[in-house]
């Protein structure tokens, strides 16, 4: 579909960049290999290893060769399987725990090749220094960021606690670049936030599913009901939530569904990958802790609910949206989601390394596979009143090389084919917008969700802005107002 923009969703420094995965940690108890090893291919591998050692232009470290061989073998399977070296494994664990050592900024790529500040995390080094949404980082410690991958720039901003890093920032309205000297520190990131947006209506946002998410959700819901005991509607915001810990998704869905409801099922080669996960504490309590949902107000099970999603909503976000949609517990509003319907299991190899391996597909309670398709909203609503922003240009699971097919709907997703001129128009239009603050009065999709909860007219997406299942006539409930 021409050159697509990379996903500029939430990327906390220390959180897995891009589309995160639903995680299950497991010991090395894999299925026994039933067939003999392919000796001829193993001999070829040994021959190539020997050729590199003897003929390559310079000496190559044995460990590097073997590590890269492992990494390439795993990465060849699908976009989400990977070998995790010491650093990658540590970052994954930190991300799932909701804490990391860094500067405390949520970032994305800008159209000009710079790093765009989405938002500073409250009370972080970046927040205290005065970094603002919309700022563009042009240099890191005097190194230009143009030509630097987002992953490499994240690594440069990470480091040891109390170490320093210099950021050169371009800010609209400032004639000269601004230079900030920041000290890295451990950041505690809350995955859940919310507020009363108007009397009787609340907004609850989950940025990523982490170990503390269910506890944070329960605390925030309790707080909202204390502020307004007579809530009439709730908007659950999962936009640009890339996923995360599977237990978090189960717990969030369980908070709104009937007791013991089936939330998600999985299927793969291993017997323990053929499971149904229910809304019970044993399925969502990460460390066998007490049930965080037990003391929630009973009204949370019946409150009218709308769920906001977009093309950056993936994995665990899709589990929640799919379950609430199947039970007709909520109206799903926004853009078609990313379509990551696979489960990754972390198999630890050494104390510091592991393999992240795709071991199953997951399915909604009604048996729908989300893989390479995503969740089609009940009400298709664009990100802005005049269009869907860059959602149409973001890659989805179906666009990734070597992605798994949808085993229950082979047609999958019909990708949109934007002409280069239309891509340039959308990018130019996006540059003129000020950064969208979710939950604000300028949040168009939130306002439409509130209109729906109140029974007021909702401004629907234009048909040309949608991504739908191949062969389907339309998505959502049609265009117009």
- Residue-wise DSSP of 57-116: SS---HHHHHHHHHHHHHHTT-TT-EEE-HHHHHHHHHHHHTEEEE--EEEEE-TTSSEE
Q: Which of 78, 135, 215, 326 is catalytic?
A: 326
Does residue 284 have a pLDDT over 90? yes
Does residue 312 have a pLDDT over 60? yes
Does residue 8 have a pLDDT over 50? no
Residue 426 CB neighbours (<10 A):
20
pLDDT tens digit sequence for 344-380: 989 999 999 999 999 999 999 999 999 999 999 999 9
Could you tell me which residue, 440 or 2, shows the higher pLDDT? 440
Closest to 168 (Cα-Cα) out of 130, 129, 134, 141: 141
pLDDT at position 36 is 79
Q: What is the mean pLDDT of residues 294-312?
A: 96
Contact between 399 and 4 (Cβ < 8 Å): yes
Could you tell me which residue, 93 or 243, shows the higher pLDDT? 243
Q: Where are the beta strands (DSSP E) in 253-320?
A: 262-267, 275-278, 305-309
Output the six-digit token pair for 124. Answer: 């972080």
Q: Which of 220, 340, 356, 373 is catalytic?
A: 340
Q: What is the mean pLDDT of residues 26-52?
A: 77
Look up residue 33 and give its DSSP letter.
P
Of 61-65, 102-106, 264-268, give the lowest mean pLDDT range. Answer: 102-106
Contact between 269 and 32 (Cβ < 8 Å): no
- Residue 477 — very low, low, confident or very high, per pLDDT cuts 50/70/90? very low
Q: Which of 311, 313, 315, 342 is catalytic?
A: 315
315 is catalytic: yes
- Residue 9 — very low, low, confident or very high, per pLDDT cuts 50/70/90? very low
326 is catalytic: yes
What percent of the chain has a predicted confidence (pLDDT) above 90?
Answer: 60
Contact between 238 and 313 (Cβ < 8 Å): yes
Look up residue 124 and give its DSSP letter.
S
Question: Which residue in this structure is represented by tokens 């505690």?
Answer: 188
Residue 415, Cβ density class (10 Å: 0-12 exposed, 13-18 middle, ≥19 buried): middle
pLDDT tens digit sequence for 381-410: 999 999 998 787 888 899 889 999 999 876
Q: Read off the pTM.
A: 0.81
- Residue 263 — very low, low, confident or very high, per pLDDT cuts 50/70/90? very high
190 is catalytic: no
235-249, 336-350, 444-458, range with greatest mean pLDDT? 444-458
Does residue 37 have a pLDDT over 90? no
Does residue 190 have a pLDDT over 70? yes
Could you tell me which residue, 461 or 73, shows the higher pLDDT? 73
Does residue 65 have a pLDDT over 70? yes
Does residue 289 have a pLDDT over 80? no
Could you tell me which residue, 20 or 384, shows the higher pLDDT? 384
pLDDT at position 33 is 56
Q: What is the mean pLDDT of residues 469-478?
A: 34
pLDDT at position 238 is 97
Q: What is the mean pLDDT of residues 287-315?
A: 93
Own/partner pairs, 29-34, CB within 8 angstroms, 24+ separation? 30/270, 30/347, 31/269, 31/270
Residue 385, Cβ density class (10 Å: 0-12 exposed, 13-18 middle, ≥19 buried): exposed
Q: What is the mean pLDDT of residues 133-144?
A: 90
């Amino acid at each position: 579909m021409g050159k697509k923009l990379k996903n500029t969703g939430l990327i906390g420094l220390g959180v897995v960049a891009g589309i995160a995965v639903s995680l299950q940690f497991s010991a090395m108890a894999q299925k026994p290999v039933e067939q003999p090893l392919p000796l001829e291919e193993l001999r070829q591998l040994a021959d190539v290893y020997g050729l590199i050692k003897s003929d390559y232009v310079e000496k190559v470290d044995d460990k590097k060769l073997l590590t890269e061989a492992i990494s390439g073998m795993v990465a060849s399977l699908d976009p989400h399987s990977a070998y995790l070296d010491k650093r990658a494994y540590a970052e994954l664990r930190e991300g799932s725990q909701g804490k990391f050592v860094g500067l405390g900024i949520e970032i994305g790529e800008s159209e000009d090749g710079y790093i765009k500040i989405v938002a500073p995390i409250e009370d972080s080094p970046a927040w205290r220094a005065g970094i603002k949404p919309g700022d563009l980082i042009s240099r890191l410690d005097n190194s230009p960021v143009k030509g630097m991958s987002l992953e490499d720039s994240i690594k440069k901003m990470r480091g040891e606690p109390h170490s320093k890093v210099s950021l050169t920032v371009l800010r609209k309205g400032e004639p000269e670049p601004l230079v900030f000297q920041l000290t890295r520190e451990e950041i505690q990131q809350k995955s859940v936030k919310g507020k009363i947006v108007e009397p009787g209506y609340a907004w609850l946002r989950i940025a990523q599913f982490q170990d503390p998410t269910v506890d944070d959700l329960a605390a925030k819901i309790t707080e909202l009901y204390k502020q307004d005991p007579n809530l009439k509607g709730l908007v659950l915001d999962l936009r640009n939530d890339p996923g995360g810990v599977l237990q978090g998704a189960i717990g969030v869905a369980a908070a709104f569904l009937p007791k013991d409801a089936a939330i998600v099922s999985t299927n793969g080669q291993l017997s323990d990958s053929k499971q149904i996960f229910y809304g019970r504490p044993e399925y969502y309590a990460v460390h066998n802790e007490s049930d965080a949902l037990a003391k929630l107000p009973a009204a949370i099970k019946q409150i009218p609910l709308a769920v906001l999603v977009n093309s950056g909503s993936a994995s665990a976000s899709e589990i929640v949206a799919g379950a609430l949609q199947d039970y007709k517990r909520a109206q799903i509003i926004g853009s078609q989601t990313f379509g990551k319907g696979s489960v990754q299991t972390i198999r630890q190899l050494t104390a510091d390394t592991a393999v992240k391996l795709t071991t199953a597909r997951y399915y909604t309670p009604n048996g729908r596979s989300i893989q390479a398709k995503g969740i089609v909203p009940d009400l298709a609503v664009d990100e802005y009143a005049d269009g869907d922003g860059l959602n149409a240009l973001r890659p989805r699971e179906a666009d990734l090389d070597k992605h798994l097919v949808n085993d229950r709907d082979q047609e999958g997703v019909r990708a949109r084919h934007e002409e280069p001129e239309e891509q340039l128009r959308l990018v130019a239009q996006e540059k003129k917008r000020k950064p969208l603050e979710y939950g604000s009065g300028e949040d168009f999709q939130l306002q439409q969700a509130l209109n729906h909860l109140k029974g007021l007219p909702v401004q629907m997406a234009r048909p040309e802005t949608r991504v739908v299942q191949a062969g389907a006539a339309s998505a959502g409930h049609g265009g117009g107002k």
